[in-house]
Structure 1
Amino acid sequence: MNPSIRLKSHFALLLIFISFTVNSGVACVEIPDIIDPPAQEPPDAGTANLPDAGDRDSGIPQPDAGDLGNDGGSIDAGTADTTRPTVLTTFPLNESTQVKLDTKIRVAFSEPMNRPTVSMSIQPPVKGINLTWDTQDSEATLTFTNLLKENTRYTLTIEGEDRAANALENPKSFFFTTGGPAPDMQPPTILATTPADSKIGVNRDTLIEVVFSEPMSKPETEAAFAVISPAGLNNSTMTWNPAATVLTVRLAAAPPYGSQVVWQVSTHARDAVGNMLEQTKQQGFRIVREGVATFDFDPATSGSVGAPSYYRPNFIYNLATLGDTAENESKRLFLGFLVSGLPEDLTLIRQATLRWWTSAQQGNPHENLGHLMLEHVNIGNELEASHFGDNPALIADYHALSLNSAIIVPPNTIGRPGTVDITSWFQSDWLLRNERNHRTQYRLRFSSQTDGDNISDILISDVETDPKLATLEILYEYP
């Protein structure tokens, strides 16, 4: 018999047999016995192989035991680049004068360009043009075989596209004027300044940069520069670029937070041949401001949890303990904060200070349980409630991996309140504030779970003695 025919006939008989036995109610198909998987120990604070924050240091965040944040959506393939490129700067700068005849023209773009699409034309025409690029395709250099003409105004026009075929944004034309043997009778001008006029949120250590249209007389121009306000900043350090066209001023002291800095260059400033600046140039900018915010602990993500009971009946702060109990229960203290009140436009977290209040102590936890350690964790939107230790999410929170190496908290820093600087930890949480719903969370625990002596060695926080379990103070800068 043909093997394929034999296979088909056997398959047909099998189908008939199964159909017959089901319809007749006779269970003729033998099903293997189901074998239960090996029983597993429940997560225990004393088990060595648990993913316990104290057993190993890991910079990889644990999967969030609270709100997983998984909406089931598909992976974003990215957003198409529709931003048009711009010219960031040119050298010589637009409107420069007394430019050397052998100058090289440099053009810096805001992003990599598609080289074949980029063209640069110069009027009046110049023979022997050579265009080169940097390795990132974001800066082009134009050189000429022949010298430029004396006392001539040249206009450079640039066209092109970026790698996503977005056309170059205006302005695309710039001009400069060369020098020559004819006497220079043209007064200098100020082409650009840094910080820009009326800019806000400027760093206190900022430099002031003034770009002139042509080489300047250094002594006279430096004498023409002055800081009008605030007082006490005029003993400044001044330096120049080799071409004597850019004056850089380092202020004598850091201006106060939020102060308005006003400076000027008077008409006493002169170019290299003695032409005076036609008008006094006065500009100003505002220094970054300083703010401070204090946040109370978030009850939903704060409180003590013990193992192996994993008991947490509610979110109410009445009593919080840290250490081990007479039942050899290992208590850990979680301190969470919701910081959505911070301004989104802040520019720097200068300091973050955690404070928590300890009302009393039983036994000697520091001697019997080792170091007290503060850890940086991420437990999601809540420290889940659990009455009988049957909530896996709370167990996962208890054993959440530390995001950084722990800070050892000396006994002499514990009190009412105890204080720890957590600036770097909070800075990283602020960068991830949208992913973490503006939450930042910490955990206190001793290096030993319990000493097993059925005697309490605990730190106690009591709402009657200390109504606030913890606070977080943030010192920040904003525009």
Structure 2
Amino acid sequence: MVDTTAPGVVSVTPSSGATGVSKDANVVVTFSEPMNQASAQTAFQSANLGVNTFSWNAEGTTMTVNPNADLEYTLSGKTYTFSVTTTATDKAGNALSSASEGSFKTFKRITTNVLNKASTNAEINNTNTVSSATADIQVGDAANNSSKRGFVGFDLSTLPADLVPANIESARVKMYVEAIVGQPFTQLFPPSNC
């Protein structure tokens, strides 16, 4: 029996118009029947996904497009576009019934300053006594040889409400030394001739 049925695109992920796509996302195209893989790979076109590596499921119906370079995050999220043209054919040589086009946008990259919330700062000593530390935080050994640890709080209300911790790329804390009592660094790093 001769196959004269034109194949079609059943689904594409990320779906067209998707936002907040991860930098390591792949484009996955599922066809209605087994495809001529070489023709489908050639038919996949994108102006900005760069060089890609292709892989297929055993049935030859699902093509995974893995960009060799991670997708970019930008201030507004970067938009990527792609298409599968009608030069893609099934194993019988029937051309794709219609071209499939899509676009998606990656996560936004946001840089923000999160300020210290002084009312949440605290010190705790080796007897588990907690003291508020709205101005300065003491850490190390006190004069009576008791140890102190400091805790710093931050106001996170400026961060997006839907922020997922796994999507935080980096964070940096800036703290300043106001005073040093004694010679703690000498004690930590004594001269080499001692």
Q: TM-score, normalised by structure 2?
A: 0.81
Distance 1:339 1:265 in 2: 43
For the pair shown, the structure with the greater C-alpha radius of gyration is 1
Q: Is 2:152 the counterpart of 1:335?
A: yes
After TM superposition, give the deviation of residue 239 of structure 1 in Å.
1.5
The aligned residue for residue 114 of structure 2 is 295
Contact 1:226 1:234 in 2 (8 A): no
Query: Residue in 1 aligned with 2:15?
Result: 196
- Check 1:191–1:335 CA distance in 2 against 1; reply closer, same or farther (3 A cut): same
Counterpart CA distance in 2 for 1:336 and 1:356 is 12
Per the TM alignment, residue 185 of structure 1 is displaced from its structure 2 partner at its CA by: 1.6
The corresponding residue for 1:428 is none
CA separation of 1:336/1:271 partners in 2, compared to 1, >3 Å: closer, same or farther?
same
Determine the C-alpha separation between the residues in 2 that align with 1:185 and 1:311. 79
Q: Any conservation in 1 of the 2:120–2:134 contact (CA below 8 Å)? A: no
The size of the alignment, in residue pairs, is: 183
Match of 1:240 in 2: 56
Q: Give 1:350 deviation, angstroms.
A: 2.5
Query: Which residue, out of 93, 98, 102, partners 1:279?
Result: 98
| Corresponding residue of 2:192 | none
CA RMSD of aligned residues (A): 2.6
Shift, 1:276, TM fit: 0.9
Unaligned runs of 5+ in 2: 190-194
Alpha-carbon distance, 1:285 to partner: 0.9
Call closer, same or farther: CA 1:326–1:209 in 2, change over 3 Å: closer
2:70 maps to a residue whose letter is A
Q: Aligned partners of 2:153, 2:99: CA distance in 1, in Å?
A: 55
1:66-465 maps to which residues of 2 (within 5 A)?
181=1, 183-228=2-47, 230=48, 233-257=49-73, 258-304=77-123, 316-317=134-135, 319-326=136-143, 328=145, 330-347=147-164, 348-368=167-187
Shift of 1:339: 1.6
Separation of aligned partners in 1, 2:36 and 2:179: 72
Residue type of the alignment partner of 2:20? G
What CA deviation, in whole Å up to 9, does each residue of 1:85-136 have, x standing for no partner?
A: xxxxxxxxxxxxxxxxxxxxxxxxxxxxxxxxxxxxxxxxxxxxxxxxxxxx
Q: Deviations over 1:347-401 (max 9, x none)?
A: 3223233321113322222454x6xxxxxxxxxxxxxxxxxxxxxxxxxxxxxxx
Please give the secondary structure, in 1, of the residue aligned with 2:18.
Answer: coil
Match of 1:126 in 2: none
- Conservation of the 8 A alpha-carbon contact between 2:22 and 2:71: no
Deviation of 1:305 (Å): 5.7
**How many percent identity over aligned positions?**
30
List gaps (5 residues or longer) in structure 1: 1-180, 371-409, 411-479
Q: CA deviation at 1:304?
A: 4.4
Offset from partner CA, 1:168-188 (integer Å, 9 cap, x none): xxxxxxxxxxxxx2x222211
TM-score, normalised by the number of residues in structure 1: 0.35
Deviation at 1:197, TM superposition (A): 1.5
